Amino acid sequence: MRERIPQRIDYHRYTEQGVILDGVMSLAESDKDLLRLNDAIIENTGGISYHLEFDTDILGNRFVTGHIDAHVVLQCQRCMDNYKLDLNCNISIAFVQNDFEQKQAEASNYDIYWISKKELFDPRVLIEDELLLALPQIPMHPDSEIGKDCDVRVNFLDGDLLVDGTVTEDDVLSSENTDSNITKSEQNDEDNPFAILKQLKK
Ligand SMILES: [Zn+2]
């Protein structure tokens, strides 16, 4: 049986001994243990693979390097359909417990992980943090999918705006009248925000 990822590790001992953690968190494990990640995504479609090498360097930095890979489903905020995204995180993180160690680690270009010396540390937290950082702030299909998988226009036309006919010429005119910020350049079709409605109606 495959060994499960440890839940409490002594980073001092791990970095001293050059321990390598290499494996896959199963879907069942991540569903149960990575609640913050689960909240941030629609679903996780496979195991989360990790390769974490603990070590020290000549300056005394205690660090972990490696990579974490996951496959998740997100909801595109442009067309509201779900889409798949591979998350591939390379990590290079130093454990620090005071300002001196922090400055030294930053000078060596490590990311920083604050920890107290005796604190046992859960590598699943690090894995989850890294995956959360790798998520896009606004999930969207890549631009290359616009008009294909990411069909914004179809969704727009399906929306109430046009189907219900709630936008009329009068609405457009009255909104133009009430909007004191409209300048002359915005009056031409190209810059008029309602010009796109005309195009879509064709
Ligand atoms: Zn989309």
pLDDT of residue 200: 52
User: Residue 69 and residue 26: Cα distance in Å, rounded?
Assistant: 12
- Is pTM, for the whole model, over 0.75? no
**If you measure from the C-alpha of residue 170 to the centroid of ligand 1, how many angstroms do you get, rounded to a whole number?**
32
Nearest partner of 110 among 62, 77, 145, 153, judged by Cα: 62
Query: Which strand (E) or helix (H) includes residue 9?
Result: strand 9-10
Nearest partner of 124 among 44, 34, 41, 45, judged by Cα: 34
CA neighbours closer than 13 Å in the CB half-sphere of residue 193: 10
Nearest partner of 120 among 21, 33, 14, 49, judged by Cα: 14
Nearest partner of 152 among 79, 95, 92, 102, judged by Cα: 79
**If you measure from the C-alpha of residue 136 to the centroid of ligand 1, how many angstroms do you get, rounded to a whole number?**
13
Local structure of residue 86 (DSSP, 8 states): E
| Domain spans in the chain, listed from the N-terminal domain onward | 9-140, 159-201
* Phi and psi at residue 167, to the nearest 5°: -100, 115
**Residue spans of the chain under pLDDT 50:** 1, 154-190, 193-197, 201-202
Percent of the chain with pLDDT over 90: 65
**If you measure from the C-alpha of residue 78 to the centroid of ligand 1, how many angstroms do you get, rounded to a whole number?**
5
